[in-house]
Structure 1
Amino acid sequence: MSTQSRYTFPAIPYLKIRFQLISLEPAHLPAYKGSLLRGAYGHALRKTVCIMPPKQLCEHCMVRTQCAYPKLFETFVEHDPPPFMRGLNTAPRPYVFEPLTTEKNFNKGDTLEFDLLVFGDAIDFYPYLIYAVSQMAGNGLGRNRYPFRLQAAWWQQTRADEIAWPMLYDGPGEKLMATPTPTRLLDTASPNDALAQTVRLSFLTPTRLKFRNELTIEFTFRMLLFKMIRRVLELAHFHVPGADIDWEFNSLLVAADNIAIAENTLKWLDWQRHSNRQNTKMMMGGFTGDLVLHGDLAPFSQLLRACEILHIGKGTVFGNGKFIVKNSE
């Protein structure tokens, strides 16, 4: 354990923006809005920043390395990745949508709020993101294009474990109100990171984990930990320039063998999303529920706390893979 405890994760800057939209007429939206928001945002972002003809593929575009759209929405692998990442055609996207409500029906004047988390050097594009959300709202949401208006945006400010939400954007005035300061994950340990011998992981949104190329809800803590490590290192490698990454993390996995899953109440939850590119419905189910872990979890506390924010598994951009960690004793 002493060898493992010396493992150091790369720090990952992130910015959390909360958007508030106002419905301009009665609207009916799906309960799970992550796919809807991501698709509408991508369409608006491309219209906002792309200087090429509509049929131009980002993969072959001469300005793709300088454009906000492929950085955020396509995220191609430009250089050879480390060994366990080989085979990736695109890198993990540097953002996560977190819808804050499952409400389906909105009256005129009702508010729709959601969070957008942005990681690494993608944070530099935050003015583009705000403008794209404004355009997305005006273009309309859902298959019936219900119109909304961006009323305001706030950014999460963290100081000494205290959280505030200063205004970032004033919708009616169409004005940026602040220059946000990113928070750094995995940079320094916090007393709030401390974990007891027994903790509960509550998976709040569908979580899709593949092992041996199959989705499953049966896995060990070691298998789960590997997915968390991979999530952190992939984001750091592709989106944090100059990140100091230690690829020798096997001792972490060995130590994870000593952690028992004392209780497993995971269950599968199916939902569908409509793919505009493929013009078809796609199953995006995953598990929700709780895992109770028991053992010496101190060496994993920073990683677990970080992945509460980063999410894990497939479809994180839609808000999949969100969990929280709570001490059980």
Structure 2
Amino acid sequence: MKCEKSKWLDDFLKWTAPIEVHTRVLVFDFGDEENVPQDWAIPMLRGAWGNALHILDRTVYDEIFEGPGGKTNRLPLYLVRDDLDHAARTRKTPPGMRSIQWTLFCQSPALDEIFFRAWETACRNGFGEHRNTCSIVHTETFASQICDPAFFEAARPCRVVFPHPLRLIRKGVLNQKPTLYDIVQAILNRLACFRTAALCENRKELILPAVHGTLLPEFAREILAFAQTLPAEPWHGMKHGLRRYSGRQKSEIRLNGTSGYLTFPAGLGPLAAVLGAASVSHIGKGTVYGMGRPFLLPLEDG
């Protein structure tokens, strides 16, 4: 497929421009591999950070953890995920060290200090069942827009891979065999909510509609139509879940999803820009735990 610029691409890039993204990489040093908690996982980290932030600043905690949208349709403006990008850059994480990324959407950079202090507090308090302490030995901060230009060149055959669980739910039912159309629709819905939050002056009064597609612009139809024209092989995957401890329910719960991939023998063309945005924003339920992140891989590497 020749990667030609579709007429909707400029509209899409302008539409997503207000969505600001701030990402920080944190490298934790436990001193020795034996000191790394055996239950090391993103839900545990997110919980420890949240507890520390709750103590440091309850107002900021409520704003970041609840997010706009009301109780029934919340939009948390953050996510925490494994730092696979850092692992790729350094090739190998030294023993006793772990790295993560935490990303803020449409948030003031001024809040970064209180968030970082919460991470430092969580490190002193310790992680895991045995409260293993550590120190933050390295940080990197990135500020960007939601669309990553690195994904624009996907004319060659490729795969869209979800190594972590993808949790797309419609009317209470988990979609275990998502199509490209399903994925793109989920991306557009999520970006529309982020854009609304970015343009809203008073987020406490912002109520996001629960109806899919309510906030989508006219050119979204062109994007979805384009997604339906691409040659694609059926979803290849399996059921995959993530466990987390619920403080409210006082028990461990499982977030069921599906991991797998879609193969595109002729590539994605300009639709790669949309998938690139999803690699930053994630999609579906459980995004705050790093779920629902797509990767674009050349077919020969998949």
**TM-score interval, normalised by the smaller of the two chains:** 0.7 to 0.9
Deviations 1:198-223 (A, max 9, x none): 32011121111113321122232212
Structure 1 residue 279, shift from structure 2 partner: 0.7
Deviating above 6 A after TM superposition, structure 1's stretches of 4 or more consecutive aligned residues are none
> Shift of the alpha carbon at 1:192?
5.0
**Residue 63 of structure 2 aligns with which residue?**
71
DSSP 3-state at the match of 2:229: coil
1:169 equivalent in structure 2? none
Q: Aligned AA for 1:68?
A: V
Q: Write out per-residue CA displacement over residues 196-251 of structure 1, whole angstroms, 9 at most, x where no aligned residue.
A: 15320111211111133211222322121100111111122124558xx8632223
How far apart are the structure 2 equivalents of 1:100 and 1:255?
32
In 2, Cα distance between equivalents of 1:46 and 1:307: 29
Other structure's SS at 1:121 match: coil
Map 1:1-329; keep pairs closer than 5 Å: 4-5=8-9, 7-8=11-12, 9-11=15-17, 12-23=19-30, 26-30=35-39, 33-50=41-58, 67-77=59-69, 89-100=72-83, 110-156=96-142, 182-186=143-147, 190=149, 192-196=151-155, 198-241=157-200, 247-248=217-218, 249-294=220-265, 297-328=268-299
Q: Which runs of 5+ in 1 are unaligned?
A: 51-66, 79-87, 102-108, 157-181
| CA distance in structure 2 between the partners assigned to 1:299 and 1:291 by the alignment | 17
Mapped partners of 1:5, 1:151: distance in 2? 40
Which blocks of at least 5 consecutive residues in structure 2 are unaligned?
Answer: 85-94, 202-214
Q: 1:76 to 1:308 in 2, by over 3 A?
A: closer
SS in 2 for 1:261: coil
Identity %: 20
TM-score by structure 1 length?
A: 0.72
User: Normalized per residue, which structure has more helix?
Assistant: 2
State the aligned residue count.
267
* Alpha-carbon separation, structure 2, partners of 1:38 and 1:270: 17
Is the 2:167–2:291 contact (alpha carbons within 8 Å) kept by the matching residues of 1?
A: yes
> Which secondary structure state, in structure 2, belongs to the residue aligned with residue 229 of structure 1?
helix
| Amino acid aligned to 2:120 | S
The SS at the match of 1:268 is strand
Contact persistence 2:188–2:216 (CA under 8 A): no
Pick closer, same or farther for the CA change 1:92–1:294 going to 2, 3 Å: farther
Shift of 1:193: 1.0
TM-score by length of 2: 0.78
C-alpha distance in 2 between matches for 1:219 and 1:297: 16
Cα pair 1:4 1:299 within 8 Å, conserved: no
